[in-house]
Structure 1
Amino acid sequence: MKNKVPYIEQMNESECGIACVAMISSYFGKHIDISDLRDLFGTSRDGLTLTVLSNLCDMLDLDSKAFMVNTEELKKLKFPVILHWDYQHFVVFEGYKRKKFHIVDPDRGRRKLKTDEIEKHFSGTILSVIPNNNFYKKKPKPLWRPYLSLLWKKPILLLSMLLLSIFLQSFVIISPLLTQYIVDRSTSKFSDFSFVTLLLAIGLSLISYISFNILRNEVSIKLFEYLDFKLSWKFFSHLLNVPYTFFQNRKSADLLYRFSNLRSIRNVLSSQFMKSLLDMILVITIFVYMFNKSPMLALLLMALTSLLALTIFSFRSRMNDLNRLEVFEDTKLYSFQSESIMGIHDIKSSGLEQTYSQKWKDMYNNFSTAFVNRERLIGIVTAISSSFNFFIPVFILLVGMQSVLNGIITLGELIAFQTISAYFLNTSNSLIMQIEAYYQLKVYLKRLQDVFNTPLEITEETKEKHIIQGEIEFQNVSFSFTQYGKNVINNASFHISAGEKVAIVGKSGSGKSTLANLILGIYPLKNGIILYDKKDISSLDKPTLRKQIGIVTQKPYLFNKSIFENIVANREGVTLDMVIEAAKIAEIHEEIMKLPLNYHTIISEQAKNFSGGQIQRISIARALVGNPKIIIFDEATNALDSITEKKIDDHLSKLNATRIIIAHRLSTIKNADRIIVMDDGEIVAQGKHEELITSNDYYISLYKHNNSLELLNI
């Protein structure tokens, strides 16, 4: 193998393909992040084909070609290739060495597999990738720079921390000097003056050391507090403002796990970074002092310390692989636990408690194995380090005694050298371990950078904060999740007048909900224009626009707060009277008033203390409390009985608002001013119910099918 393929972790389940392309590109010298490819190509919900990966390679000036090979032919390949794995995944084949196939899995990390294991997973298809004449090299982005920039914004705290630490570190030199002074004068009696002076000096040093330690601790706490807020706020704020597509392909538990990784970064920046800098200065200072006292002993100590550093660094690659595997297994376990608790009703109602318990046990065993393997390697490194720290001072003492006997240095100088060499070893070892820790933190940094490198949905550009009237127009709008993916919405054109009630119907998966998200501006357009009151949506301020739209989705989410807080949803200026009015329109007010705490009743996590119909009506009240100009219901009343739904519809008809209804229930769509019929992402018909039921075969089939279901439900 020429060299190792840089490992790049896929950040969601459908990004294995682009992660493999990023690894191959980085192997040849063009280091590129997944976020860059995501911006270039888009985010797929369903993964990518080899053809699409080949197109992506073209964008990166990489020539690619697909082949069918067997395992024997695979062994002979000289360059890394992309393997089709388990017919649903992609991995990079790094090379064949010592009767093992070296695989870099973007999901699990580096793996070494035997022939029978390869044959079990490898489909036989490879994508060969090599640079063409236009290919150019690109250095990787520095991971630490964005975080270090936070430190430079607090120069006074940094300078205070540095000066206090330097002063405290100076005691490392003062202590051996006092030792040398006392030992070298031990043959003659101290005068009373010298003895008292030394006692005062030691006492003053002790008081100074305690005082400056307390001061440095205060500065450290302030720096820690600043970084804790800045990092957490920066991450959370950025996360909330990335496009919605980012969340569609990532598990919420995984994102929460990344949030917890901020603590490790914060700890390093607030204390370890400064400590590393000071340790480096201290190592150099001590070495200069020791070299001045005994060049031979100083060089010998430096040689032994360098040998220790090289020994520890030789474990780095293996340590990084084990650290990545532990994070991977820990994340999987954390996600499984979170999903199990969230889905506890389905687990219990299906009698799957034992099945899930056994699954947890298997996943925990995988995590435990990864953890034990990493701890075992850490134990080996620690044992080597401790052994060096124990035996090197003895070795230095043995060699140093020869210098004393030869009259090169005094006994006091040797004891001082011996004392300070212990500081040198401890500081050097600390510095080495901190450097190792920085490398191990790269796993966390890359996972955080997946968020920070995702462009914000809302830029800093000045947008018009338009007060909408409710008119919407689509002009030849198309949308797909990736550049080469199939259009989910294809060439959609329609006009909705302000105050009009429009229903959107079609089979499941026909693009109805996607169309609603395009109206909200949640998805970026591939082609076409969306107009609000004749103004292009791209020129409008998205938050201002969305605040004027009330939407209830298929799966509305209620927060673990009071009913009042859920309806208000942190909007400013919303009064109890406004909440009550919205609840009356949603036909939920009377039921709320029957509760012991009325509007102050707490909704449990996942709203388990409310029925599906109550959840929908509280969500409707939340959508209406802001007096929206546009109301979007995406199957928002499918849990309600026909009578309650009719009452809500009558209330809504009195509002001065445009209504867009996505529904299957006939009573919901029949009285719409216009019905838009969708099939496979395309608008196949538009018109009133009376027109469509006599002229459009597809609508007629939908109507008959839904009518049969409604009759069955009566």
Structure 2
Amino acid sequence: MDKKTKKFLSYYKPYLGLFIADMFFSLLASVVSLIYPMIVRHITNNILLRYDISEAVPIIVKLLFAMLGLAAVEFISTFFTSYKGHIMGAKIEYDMRNEIFEHFQKLSFKFYDEQKTGQLMSRITNDLFDVTELCHHGPEDIIISTIKFVGAFIILIRINLPLTLIVFAFLPLMFIFAVFMRGKMRRAFRRNRERIADINAQIEDNLSGIRVVKSFANESVEMQKFKEGNLKFVDSKKNSYWNMASFHSGLTLFTALINIAVIAGGGLFIANNIINVGDLLTFLLYINLLVDPVKKLINFTEQFQNGMSGFSRFYEILEIEPDIVDKPDAIELKDIKGEIEFKNVSFKYNEESGDVFKNINLKVEAGEYIALVGSSGVGKTTMCSLIPRFYEVSDGVITIDGIDIRDVKLKSLRKNIGIVQQDVYLFAGTVMDNIRYGKADATDEEVIQAAKNANAHDFIMELPNGYYTDIGQRGVKLSGGQKQRISIARVFLKNPPILIFDEATSALDNESEKVVQDSLEKLAKNRTTIVIAHRLSTIKNAKRIIVLTEDGIKETGTHDELLALNGIYAGLYKLAYGDEE
């Protein structure tokens, strides 16, 4: 048994009792369905021939009550398998969805840099729905089909062997037909999964950027792109529906041929006194019980391909090992002062790409306020992303208070670092929820105090429901400056000893920038702070300014020192502000 199959079967383990009960009632329903034709045979061959009408009626009435009892048993069995079986499937889906979502949380930025959100969403929704259908119906269909098929086969042999052999002459052809179509079905459903995932990705991309679409009046362009993707999905569906139509029409043809063969053969056998009318009637009733399992097995093939293609895509994600994990002996980072040091640090995104930067040597003292500047693309944000280990260094070491960050538990490391970014992400929900994201167990009073520290309290109180105002998806109901102050309040609440401001004011107007800058300065007090900024006016007061180029750190000093040096920083400053100085 391969690793993937073991993984699939492992999801049944917590629900083994429910699974066994489901299989038991499936078995019971199958057995009951095999009894009905035997009762019909008994009535036609024995009771009606051996007894007169006055004697036959009471016996038939008793048999009818027996059949009603069997119908009640079948009803209960079918209800249990349909209800409890689906519940089991839903619970397995719940476990799978939890597992893949948890796994998503473990994967680093490197993974998400190469993925489309819609594709990942498809793996956690559409794919798992088909997997859970397979988990429930798969074993159930197999056991029902097996019992009905084997039971009907044995009974038919006992009724009439030659007629049974005529029926079974068709069955190998049916199975060859199913095997022939299996490969096509697998490829077709795999393509469907990929196409619907592409559509999800396109929808997510469009809706996330709907303001850009409308600002450029490009609705028709987006519609055309969507139509192309949607048409590819229809084409892939056509292929899968062709296979499905071939399956079902082929099955219908085989069923008709079997019935024709039985009627023709049975008629000849009756004429030659080999079989009586009651046995032929029973035979025809069992034909449906024989064909039904074949139909279920063929449907199972379709379901299996659908479910396993979904599980394969699900398993592909689980097989991706997180590239940034805790060491077995990783330690907690406690009572840190905030000294950060880069020692010969180099970084590249993958083996094929070149170095973003190399041989970075930088020491930031505890409580020091430094600024990181340089032209776009030199790796300022990437360099800061190495500190909380969003990416792993390719070479060299980064330490906090002399401790290699790779020796520290990730959660502990990141709890001690606060990040305020240019592109603020606020979750759908209330202002209170978003600020409390910085500290899940914070009281309302602590949240309000954090907002006051971030100069956000006044504008929050002016909102329709104050701290309980719903701000919409990604905070669309707030201005850029308001969103930024909420994100700063979130970091105030977190209260970390190390701060990273990643171009936190570059997208704001001058008035908003001043308010946010005041909040940032207040937040940075007595904390180790690294500021990345395009607007050089925001970092004049930094204790040190580090100038980063593609070749590493080229200049270090205060604002005045670097202007006097008349080097790269002076050139950047003059380019931005001319000769104002």
TM-score calculated relative to the size of structure 2 = 0.91
**Is the 8 Å Cα contact of residues 550 and 628 (structure 1) preserved in structure 2?**
yes
Query: Match of 1:247?
Result: 112
SS of the aligned residue for 2:240 comes to: helix
Letter in 2 for 1:243: S
1:167 shift after superposition: 1.0
1:565 shift after superposition: 0.7
Answer 1 or 2: which has greater helix percent: 2
SS of the aligned residue for 1:276 comes to: helix
1:265 correspondence with 2:126? no
**Cα distance between partner residues in 2 of 1:681 and 1:284:** 76
Query: Match of 1:546?
Result: 414
1:142 shift after superposition: 5.3
SS of the aligned residue for 2:386 comes to: helix
**Cα distance between partner residues in 2 of 1:333 and 1:617:** 36
In structure 2, relative to structure 1, the CA distance for the partners of 1:196 and 1:512 (3 Å cut) is: same
**Cα distance between partner residues in 1 of 2:408 and 2:240:** 52
Match runs of 1:193-592 below 5 Å: 194-260=59-125, 261-456=127-322, 457-458=324-325, 461=328, 463-467=330-334, 468-569=336-437, 571-592=439-460
Letter in 2 for 1:703: Y
1:646 shift after superposition: 4.3
How big is each residue's C-alpha offset from its partner over 1:165-197, in whole Å with a ceiling of 9 and x where there is no partner?
111110122112111111112223263653343
Query: Match of 1:29?
Result: none
**Is the 8 Å Cα contact of residues 430 and 468 (structure 2) preserved in structure 1?**
yes
**Is the 8 Å Cα contact of residues 195 and 233 (structure 2) preserved in structure 1?**
yes
**Cα distance between partner residues in 2 of 1:653 and 1:224:** 51
How big is each residue's C-alpha offset from its partner over 1:123-159, in whole Å with a ceiling of 9 and x where there is no partner?
xxxxxxxxxxxxxxxx9x6544322211133221111
**Cα distance between partner residues in 1 of 2:489 and 2:97:** 32
In structure 2, relative to structure 1, the CA distance for the partners of 1:696 and 1:532 (3 Å cut) is: farther
Query: Match of 1:155?
Result: 16
1:403 shift after superposition: 3.7
1:483 shift after superposition: 2.4
Query: Match of 1:594?
Result: 462
**Cα distance between partner residues in 2 of 1:218 and 1:372:** 33
**Is the 8 Å Cα contact of residues 479 and 490 (structure 1) preserved in structure 2?**
yes
Query: Match of 1:643?
Result: 514
- Higher RCO, 1 vs 2 (CA within 8 Å, ≥6 residues apart): 2
**Is the 8 Å Cα contact of residues 511 and 681 (structure 1) preserved in structure 2?**
no
1:649 shift after superposition: 4.2
**Cα distance between partner residues in 2 of 1:461 and 1:412:** 74
SS of the aligned residue for 2:470 comes to: coil
**Is the 8 Å Cα contact of residues 415 and 496 (structure 2) preserved in structure 1?**
yes
Answer 1 or 2: which has greater strand percent: 1
SS of the aligned residue for 2:398 comes to: strand
**Cα distance between partner residues in 1 of 2:551 and 2:433:** 37
- 2:49 alignment partner, one of 177, 187, 191: 187
How big is each residue's C-alpha offset from its partner over 1:381-407, in whole Å with a ceiling of 9 and x where there is no partner?
221111212221221232234344444
**Is the 8 Å Cα contact of residues 231 and 266 (structure 1) preserved in structure 2?**
no
Query: Match of 2:527?
Result: 657
1:464 shift after superposition: 1.6
How big is each residue's C-alpha offset from its partner over 1:561-587, in whole Å with a ceiling of 9 and x where there is no partner?
111111111733212232223223322
**Cα distance between partner residues in 1 of 2:393 and 2:89:** 43
**Cα distance between partner residues in 2 of 1:309 and 1:421:** 16
**Cα distance between partner residues in 2 of 1:650 and 1:337:** 40
In structure 2, relative to structure 1, the CA distance for the partners of 1:210 and 1:514 (3 Å cut) is: same
SS of the aligned residue for 1:523 comes to: coil
- 1:174 alignment partner, one of 20, 35, 40: 35
1:634 shift after superposition: 0.4
- 2:567 alignment partner, one of 671, 694, 697: 697
**More displaced, 601-610 or 327-336?**
327-336
**Is the 8 Å Cα contact of residues 370 and 544 (structure 2) preserved in structure 1?**
yes
1:653 shift after superposition: 4.4
SS of the aligned residue for 1:551 comes to: strand
**Cα distance between partner residues in 1 of 2:537 and 2:34:** 87
- 2:536 alignment partner, one of 654, 663, 666: 666
SS of the aligned residue for 2:554 comes to: strand
**Computing the radius of gyration over CA atoms, which structure comes out larger, 1 or 2?**
2
In structure 2, relative to structure 1, the CA distance for the partners of 1:704 and 1:442 (3 Å cut) is: farther
SS of the aligned residue for 1:552 comes to: strand
1:308 shift after superposition: 1.7
**Cα distance between partner residues in 1 of 2:539 and 2:575:** 14
SS of the aligned residue for 2:387 comes to: helix
**5+ residue gaps, structure 2:** none
Letter in 2 for 1:516: C
Amino-acid identity (%) = 28
1:545 shift after superposition: 1.6
TM-score calculated relative to the size of structure 1 = 0.75
How big is each residue's C-alpha offset from its partner over 1:257-291, in whole Å with a ceiling of 9 and x where there is no partner?
22222111111102233222432343233323333
Letter in 2 for 1:651: K
**Cα distance between partner residues in 2 of 1:460 and 1:196:** 76
**Cα distance between partner residues in 2 of 1:326 and 1:586:** 49
1:645 shift after superposition: 4.4
Q: RMSD in angstroms over aligned alpha carbons?
A: 2.5
**5+ residue gaps, structure 1:** 1-138
In structure 2, relative to structure 1, the CA distance for the partners of 1:528 and 1:606 (3 Å cut) is: same
Letter in 2 for 1:188: R
In structure 2, relative to structure 1, the CA distance for the partners of 1:460 and 1:410 (3 Å cut) is: farther
**Cα distance between partner residues in 2 of 1:325 and 1:572:** 42
How big is each residue's C-alpha offset from its partner over 1:412-448, in whole Å with a ceiling of 9 and x where there is no partner?
3333232222111111121122123312434322322
Aligned residues: 571
**Cα distance between partner residues in 1 of 2:119 and 2:389:** 26
**Is the 8 Å Cα contact of residues 487 and 681 (structure 1) preserved in structure 2?**
no
1:509 shift after superposition: 0.8
SS of the aligned residue for 1:610 comes to: coil
**Cα distance between partner residues in 2 of 1:699 and 1:498:** 25
**Cα distance between partner residues in 1 of 2:82 and 2:248:** 28
**Cα distance between partner residues in 1 of 2:160 and 2:338:** 85
**Is the 8 Å Cα contact of residues 380 and 532 (structure 2) preserved in structure 1?**
yes
In structure 2, relative to structure 1, the CA distance for the partners of 1:159 and 1:377 (3 Å cut) is: closer
**Is the 8 Å Cα contact of residues 178 and 247 (structure 2) preserved in structure 1?**
yes
In structure 2, relative to structure 1, the CA distance for the partners of 1:667 and 1:206 (3 Å cut) is: same
**Cα distance between partner residues in 2 of 1:569 and 1:251:** 25
**Is the 8 Å Cα contact of residues 393 and 422 (structure 1) preserved in structure 2?**
no
SS of the aligned residue for 1:483 comes to: coil
